[in-house]
């Protein structure tokens, strides 16, 4: 608590600020070479973050884990507004950081489960992974799961990922669609 509290205080975050976490990475089950096959594009995370800042006057904090520094820097560089970038955290510190957010937007990896364990509202984006198997547990009204209608999804089964040339399951998920779900969650 002290580590996260000090970081947020030094970053100018106040108790009445709307803090929204974005955890675009998470999980290594696909291996390093296939990480992009399970992640919503960085450009879309950046566009979504800017829209949230504009619409809700929120503060965005980019949450990351080991090996995800490049992804976070890419998203921050694509944003019009300057996000807060979380410091390096251990699991308990990430849990505390998520707990202080009004909402955490994430991929289907570990940060989703960490945020869910803290009772935080989550919006999770699932591409090739089956949300019925790897989704938040227990799923409550605080968990919004976003998927596409791609007929080939989910394709990640029995810890195997088939070859894919189009990423349709992620490319079909629009910023508008995710933003509408966030706007509903904020009400």
As a whole number of angstroms, the distance between CA 165 and CA 102 comes to 36
Q: Give φ, ψ of 106 to 5 degrees.
A: -150, 170
Helix H or strand E segment including 145: strand 143-146
- Dmax over Cα atoms in the chain, in whole Å? 47
Q: Which two tokens stand for residue 56?
A: 């809700």
Taking CA atoms, 39 is separated from 86, 100, 128, in Å, by 19, 24, 9
Helix (H, G, I), strand (E, B) or coil at 157: strand
Residue 78 in contact with residue 41, Cβ under 8 Å?
Answer: no
Q: Which two tokens stand for residue 136?
A: 């938040």
The tens-digit pLDDT sequence of the chain (187 residues) is: 999 999 999 999 998 999 999 999 876 666 666 667 778 999 999 999 999 999 999 999 999 988 899 999 999 999 999 999 999 999 999 999 999 999 999 988 889 999 999 999 999 999 998 999 989 988 899 999 999 999 989 988 877 777 887 889 999 999 999 999 999 877 6
As a whole number of angstroms, the distance between CA 140 and CA 15 comes to 26
Nearest to 118 by CA among 141, 145, 144, 100: 100
Q: What is the pTM of this model?
A: 0.93
């Amino acid at each position: 608590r002290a580590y996260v509290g000090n970081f947020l205080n030094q970053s100018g975050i106040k108790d009445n600020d709307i803090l929204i976490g974005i955890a675009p990475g998470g999980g290594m089950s696909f291996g390093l070479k296939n990480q992009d096959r399970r992640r919503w594009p960085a450009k879309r995370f950046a566009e979504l973050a800017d829209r949230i800042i504009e619409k809700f006057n929120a503060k965005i904090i980019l949450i990351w884990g080991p090996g995800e520094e490049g992804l976070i820097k890419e998203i921050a560089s694509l944003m019009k507004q300057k996000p807060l970038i979380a410091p390096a955290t251990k699991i308990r510190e990430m849990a505390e950081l998520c707990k202080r957010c009004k909402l955490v937007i994430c991929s289907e990896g570990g940060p989703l489960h960490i945020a869910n364990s803290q009772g935080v509202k989550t919006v999770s984006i699932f591409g090739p992974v089956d949300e019925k198997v790897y989704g938040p547990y227990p799923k409550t009204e605080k968990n919004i799961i976003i998927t596409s209608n791609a007929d080939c999804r989910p394709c990640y089964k029995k810890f195997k990922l088939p070859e894919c040339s189009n990423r349709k399951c992620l490319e079909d998920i629009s910023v508008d669609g995710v933003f509408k779900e966030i706007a509903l969650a904020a009400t």
